[in-house]
A and B are shown apart, each in its own frame.
Chain A
Amino acid sequence: MPVFFEKKQLVTPGELLAEGDYLPGENTYNQENKIFASRIGLADTENKKVNVVALRAFYLPKPGDIVIGTIVEVGFNGWTVDIKSPYTALLRASDVLSRPFKPQTDELSQVLNAGELIVAKVASYDRAHDPQLTVSEPGLGKITRGQIMRVTPTKIPRVIGKKGSMISMIKQVTGCQIILGVNGVVLVTGKNLEDEELAMTAIQKIEAESHTSGLTDRITQLLKDEKAKQEEKKIE
């Protein structure tokens, strides 16, 4: 029952990964007791499970995910939202208005208009239906300030770090509020432009250099240096 790859080896779709007593994990598939990769990524085993950490993928909705989306259309009783996935999401009017929705009196484009951004939670999704969003929880709803950036959805866990170590460190140093959409959209809100820019550079660096060790230390260093530069400028 051999394994045909080294730990964290870069594999391409169709590459034979293991044979025999193994289970197909993420981004792999099983055919005649052989396990093949289905995406380009880094292969790894976890007990008897063969996984490929994809270097390129897109977002698939999962109930409970926090996502950031753009309103693309105002409909009769809700909005359609682009959440950077193969499926556009729906947000119902009755979910946003905390009272019963009356089509005669309520003008939906007054509440949320096309082009506006929202933080929302995926309420439901399955193969047969488009994802439904909800904003009826604290912290969710329309985005009024801050900056938006995109990262590859597969890199979001790296930005969060182990038990949120990476993201909480960035938050602490820059004093910014950061919301990570699982769909790869990130919202950075800070007191001033410099802080926001700093947080964004750090996140960009994480995306570019994910899969390297000692990244947390390098990010800490980067933030420290930049912060010091900012202080200097202020004194001048």
Chain B
Amino acid sequence: MSEKPEKLIDKKGIRLDGRKADELRPLKIEVGVLPNADGSAYIEHGKNKILVGVFGPREMHPKHLSQSDRMVIRCRYHMAPFSVQERKSPAPSRREVELSKVIRESLEPSVFVDLYPRSGIDVFIEVLQADGGTRCASITAASLAIADAGIPLRDLVVACAAGKIDDTVVLDLYDAEDKLGVADVPVAYMPNLNAVTLLQMDGVLTPKEFENAMNMAIDGCKKIYPIQKEALRAKYMAAREELKEEVEE
């Protein structure tokens, strides 16, 4: 982004990329893309392209990290050097370390960690292309990858952001809006349990606007959830198709 455009959203309420205020970017999710990992998922959220691989539950290495009463979740969020316009150093940055922690903590409440003590799972998130809102897309994909690994979950975790550009509250900000906008509120949510597992805010909002943004983000999550569920189903669709035949027979 070389120059700041005058307006991020026009009088008709159309944003720079042609979306309406409460419109999501196009979404494509696939499950089970990596045969070498125990569970995996790939998500394309707008221009974001993120790959997630999950290993485990397995014995923790090094052993002293294991907990005698619960399963440990380790999470690594990493951006590929080619994921942004200016080459990003492949070494983990302060931001990536923080996002790894934030993503881990938003996934933890969904996993039955007390069922498998002394073991651990590893979640590897690789951002291949970034365009704003990668933490949300990562959470959505990581939750699917964990489910694909056969690890019991309370619910799938969906994440979506809302924010404020110029003076309007909008859904699902992309890179330019995130950088030039006023505020960004990422929310991770478990729809069936109606529980929020991540809530952050970057920028300035009035209490009213914040409430507005949060509700908008939760509505966004509810829109993504069916797509997420369908992606998981698609991998096992074959089994279901065969079943239908059986019923017809």
Question: Which of A's residues lie within 8 Å of B, judged by CB?
Answer: 8, 10, 12-16, 27, 29, 31, 36, 38-40, 42, 54-58, 60, 86-88, 127-128, 209-214
Convert B111-153 into 0s and 1s, putting 1 for each residue whose CB lies closer than 8 angstroms to a CB of A.
0100011110000000000000000000000000001111011
Set of chain B residues within 8 Å of A54, measured between Cβ atoms: 150
Q: How far does the alpha carbon of A57 sit from the alpha carbon of B119 in the complex, in Å?
A: 15
Set of chain A residues within 8 Å of B215, measured between Cβ atoms: none
> How many A-B contacts at CB < 8 Å in the complex?
93
Q: How far does the alpha carbon of A209 sit from the alpha carbon of B119 in the complex, in Å?
A: 32
Contact of A14 among B150, B155, B237, B246 (CB under 8 A): B155
Contact of A40 among B68, B147, B190, B191 (CB under 8 A): B147
Closest to A16 in B: B192
Q: How far does the alpha carbon of A159 sit from the alpha carbon of B245 in the complex, in Å?
A: 21
Q: How far does the alpha carbon of A8 sit from the alpha carbon of B155 in the complex, in Å?
A: 20
Q: Is there an interface contact between B246 and A212, defined as CB atoms closer than 8 Å?
A: yes
Q: Is there an interface contact between B192 and A39, defined as CB atoms closer than 8 Å?
A: no
Question: Which of B's residues lie within 8 Å of A, judged by CB?
Answer: 38-39, 56-59, 68, 112, 116-119, 147-150, 152-156, 190-193, 229, 232-233, 236-237, 239-240, 242-243, 245-246, 249
Using known A-B contacts A39-B147, A214-B249, determine if residue A10 contacts B117 with beta carbons closer than 8 Å: no
Set of chain B residues within 8 Å of A212, measured between Cβ atoms: 242-243, 245-246
A-B contact pairs, 15 of them (CB 8 A): A10-B237, A12-B229, A14-B190, A14-B193, A27-B152, A36-B192, A40-B236, A42-B243, A56-B39, A58-B150, A86-B59, A87-B59, A87-B118, A88-B59, A212-B243
Q: How far does the alpha carbon of A213 sit from the alpha carbon of B248 in the complex, in Å?
A: 11
A interface: dominant SS:
loop
How many whole Å from B237's CB to the nearest CB in chain A? 8
Set of chain B residues within 8 Å of A36, measured between Cβ atoms: 154-155, 192
Q: Is there an interface contact between A10 and B236, defined as CB atoms closer than 8 Å?
A: yes
Task: List the 4 shortest-distance A-B pairs measured between CB atoms, nearest first.
Answer: A14-B155, A56-B150, A13-B153, A38-B152
19 more A-B residue pairs beyond the given contacts A38-B153, A211-B246, with a C-beta to C-beta distance below 8 A:
A10-B236, A14-B155, A14-B156, A14-B191, A14-B192, A15-B192, A31-B193, A38-B152, A38-B154, A39-B153, A40-B148, A42-B243, A54-B150, A55-B239, A56-B39, A58-B149, A58-B150, A88-B59, A211-B242
Q: How far does the alpha carbon of A27 sit from the alpha carbon of B112 in the complex, in Å?
A: 11
Set of chain B residues within 8 Å of A8, measured between Cβ atoms: 243
Closest to A14 in B: B155
Q: Is there an interface contact between A13 and B149, defined as CB atoms closer than 8 Å?
A: no
Q: How far does the alpha carbon of A154 sit from the alpha carbon of B149 in the complex, in Å?
A: 13
Closest to A212 in B: B242
Residue in B119, B232, B236 whose Cβ sees the most chain A Cβ within 10 Å: B236
How many whole Å from B15's CB to the nearest CB in chain A? 32
Set of chain A residues within 8 Å of B119, measured between Cβ atoms: 86-87
Set of chain A residues within 8 Å of B38, measured between Cβ atoms: 58
How many whole Å from A12's CB to the nearest CB in chain B? 5
Closest to B240 in A: A10
Using known A-B contacts A10-B233, A14-B193, determine if residue A213 contacts B246 with beta carbons closer than 8 Å: yes
Q: Is there an interface contact between A86 and B193, defined as CB atoms closer than 8 Å?
A: no
How many whole Å from B220's CB to the nearest CB in chain A? 18
Q: Is there an interface contact between A209 and B242, defined as CB atoms closer than 8 Å?
A: yes
Set of chain A residues within 8 Å of B229, measured between Cβ atoms: 12
Closest to A84 in B: B58
Set of chain B residues within 8 Å of A57, measured between Cβ atoms: 150
Set of chain A residues within 8 Å of B240, measured between Cβ atoms: 10
Using known A-B contacts A14-B191, A16-B192, determine if residue A56 contacts B155 with beta carbons closer than 8 Å: no
